């Protein structure tokens, strides 16, 4: 019923998160014993933005591997490629009582329509142009950055060579820290790809959710220290979140002065 981080098919990208969703939907309405707590990752795993989802998946896997996963499981779910399907996925997750938290990223899973369907703590990552729209939502980003289209993570996460735009003189802002060498090495033990800007925030979100599940605390109710600093939430936003400035150089994102 759940897909854990240990699943050997995780690198077989085609159809993997869709299978997770199919298994989830198959279980809906069927009486069975309570299953282990799940932390869902709702992200794009197909289509134009699939690289965003898989970068997040590997970061979440790393968090589960290095943290106290206990009896919790990671459940990757594809957002379906639209606001409508992302909202449908969110409703499906609401039908599974074992889902304890949802980590969501991308332009569709973060949309207000999708947010409104969440019935468990929803950890939103990145600047996708959508402000907080639901009481269950917690943004792992500075409130000033969340709805800023000029700081949209879509630009940061798409390689400059693929975007068709000259990004050299554009300064990007984010609350995510660039991956340090040790994090990059641990991440690349799972995959050959480079961790994108949100990888460290996904890692922190997964560890934060695991901590809440293992301690029985509400997600975001207390302080939690991660790679990106200490997480306190006020009115659904990360209180005291950093604002980092980045720019592209030779196709790579670097800190801007």
Which pLDDT score is estimated for 12?
Answer: 37
Can you tell me the mean pLDDT for 221-231? 86
CA distance 190 to 173: 28
242, 144 in Cβ contact below 8 A?
no
Whether residue 149 is predicted with pLDDT greater than 80 in this model: the reply is no
Helix (H/G/I), strand (E/B), else coil: 238: strand
Give the side-chain half-sphere CA count within 13 A for 117.
21
51, 192 in Cβ contact below 8 A?
no
Helix (H/G/I), strand (E/B), else coil: 242: coil
CA distance 241 to 175: 6
Residue 233 CB burial class (10 angstroms; 0-12, 13-18, ≥19): buried
Name the DSSP letter for residue 217. Answer: P
CA distance 111 to 222: 26
Query: Fold for domain 13-26+36-255?
Result: Rossmann fold (3.40.50)
Give the global pTM: 0.83
Residue 5: pLDDT band (50, 70, 90) is very low
Residues facing residue 76 across a β-bridge: 41
Q: What would the pLDDT profile of 72-112 be if each residue is shown by its tens digit?
A: 899 999 999 999 999 999 999 999 999 999 999 998 999 99
Name the DSSP letter for residue 95. Answer: T
Residue 231 CB burial class (10 angstroms; 0-12, 13-18, ≥19): buried
Helix (H/G/I), strand (E/B), else coil: 128: coil
CA distance 232 to 152: 23
Distance from chain centroid for Cα 139: 11
Highest mean pLDDT among 37-46, 120-129, 190-199: 37-46
Q: What would the pLDDT profile of 11-26 be if each residue is shown by its tens digit?
A: 334 444 554 554 454 4
Q: Where are the domains of the chain?
A: 13-26+36-255
Q: Which of 4-8, 205-209, 219-223, 244-248 has the lowest average pLDDT?
A: 4-8
């Amino acid at each position: 019923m759940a897909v854990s981080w240990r699943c050997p098919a995780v690198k077989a990208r085609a159809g993997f998160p869709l299978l997770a969703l199919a298994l989830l939907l198959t279980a809906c309405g069927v009486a069975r014993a309570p299953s282990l707590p799940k932390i869902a990752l709702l992200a794009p795993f197909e289509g134009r933005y699939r690289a965003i989802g898989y970068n997040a998946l590997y970061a979440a896997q790393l968090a589960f591997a290095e943290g106290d996963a206990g009896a919790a499981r990671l459940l990757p779910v594809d957002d379906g490629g639209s606001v409508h399907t992302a909202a449908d996925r969110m409703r499906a997750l609401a039908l599974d009582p074992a889902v304890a938290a949802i980590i969501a990223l991308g332009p569709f899973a973060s949309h207000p329509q999708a947010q409104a369907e969440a019935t468990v703590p929803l950890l939103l990552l990145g600047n996708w142009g959508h402000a907080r729209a639901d009481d269950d939502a917690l943004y792992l980003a500075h409130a000033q950055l969340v709805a800023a289209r000029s700081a949209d993570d879509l630009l940061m996460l798409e390689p400059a060579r693929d975007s068709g735009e000259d990004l050299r003189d554009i300064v990007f802002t984010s609350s995510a820290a660039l991956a340090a060498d040790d994090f990059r090495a641990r991440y690349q033990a799972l995959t050959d790809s480079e961790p994108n800007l949100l990888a460290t925030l996904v890692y922190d979100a997964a560890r934060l959710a695991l901590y809440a599940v293992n301690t029985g605390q509400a997600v975001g109710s207390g302080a939690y220290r991660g790679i990106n600093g200490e997480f306190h939430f006020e009115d659904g936003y990360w209180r005291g979140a950093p604002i980092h400035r980045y720019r592209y150089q030779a196709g790579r994102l670097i800190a801007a002065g």
